[in-house]
C-alpha cells in the first residue's frame, strides 16, 4: 500500500502546481484534519477540518497573498501510511514584494486511499518576515 500512498501525495503536489484544486480536494477524506505550523499566521484556524475549510483557510490565502505560491518537493519519505515531504515554499508576497524560500516539512497521514491528516512544519520566522509581520533584519 505504501507505494500507492507516495503516488497519491505526489499526485496532490502535481495537481496543486497545475492549479487543479478539485483534484487535490478529491484526495482528501471528507473529515481531513489540516494543521498549520505553530506560530504560522495561517494557524489561526487550526485545525482546519474538511476540504472546504482547507480550501478557504489555506489555499485561498496562497493565491490571495502570494504571486506564484509554490511547493518545491525535495524528497518524499515513505513511512507506510505516513508520507513525509521535505521541501521549500516559493512565491512572492503581494503586500511586501518579498520572495519566500522557507524550509518546510509536510506530514501526511493516509487511510483508505485518502488523506486523513496533514501537519505542516515551517520556518515561521522567515514566513513572517516575508509577509512583513516582523522585522526582516539588516
Domain 2-130 class in CATH: alpha beta
- Output phi, psi for 133, to 5 deg: -85, -25
Q: Which residues pair with 82 in a beta bridge?
A: 79, 109
The pTM assigned to this predicted structure is 0.94
| Residue 92, C-alpha cell as written in the block | 512572492
Question: Would you list the domain boundaries of the chain?
Answer: 2-130
Band (pLDDT 50/70/90 cuts) for residue 1 is very low
Neighbour count for residue 101 (Cβ, 10 Å)? 12
- Residues 40-67: pLDDT tens digits? 999 999 999 999 999 999 999 999 999 9
- Residues 63-75: pLDDT tens digits? 999 999 999 999 9
Amino acid at each position: 500500500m505504501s507505494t500507492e500512498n507516495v503516488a497519491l501525495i505526489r499526485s496532490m503536489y502535481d495537481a496543486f502546481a497545475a492549479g487543479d484544486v478539485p483534484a487535490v480536494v478529491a484526495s482528501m477524506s471528507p473529515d481531513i484534519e489540516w494543521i498549520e505550523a505553530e506560530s504560522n499566521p495561517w494557524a489561526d484556524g487550526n485545525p482546519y477540518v474538511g476540504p472546504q475549510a482547507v480550501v478557504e483557510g489555506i489555499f485561498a490565502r496562497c493565491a490571495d497573498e502570494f504571486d506564484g505560491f509554490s511547493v518545491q518537493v525535495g524528497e518524499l519519505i515513505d513511512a507506510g501510511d505516513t508520507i513525509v515531504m521535505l521541501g521549500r515554499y516559493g512565491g512572492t508576497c503581494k503586500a511586501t514584494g518579498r520572495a519566500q524560500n522557507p524550509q518546510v516539512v509536510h506530514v501526511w497521514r493516509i487511510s483508505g486511499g485518502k488523506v486523513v491528516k496533514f501537519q505542516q512544519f515551517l520556518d515561521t520566522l522567515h514566513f513572517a518576515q516575508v509577509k512583513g509581520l516582523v522585522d526582516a533584519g539588516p
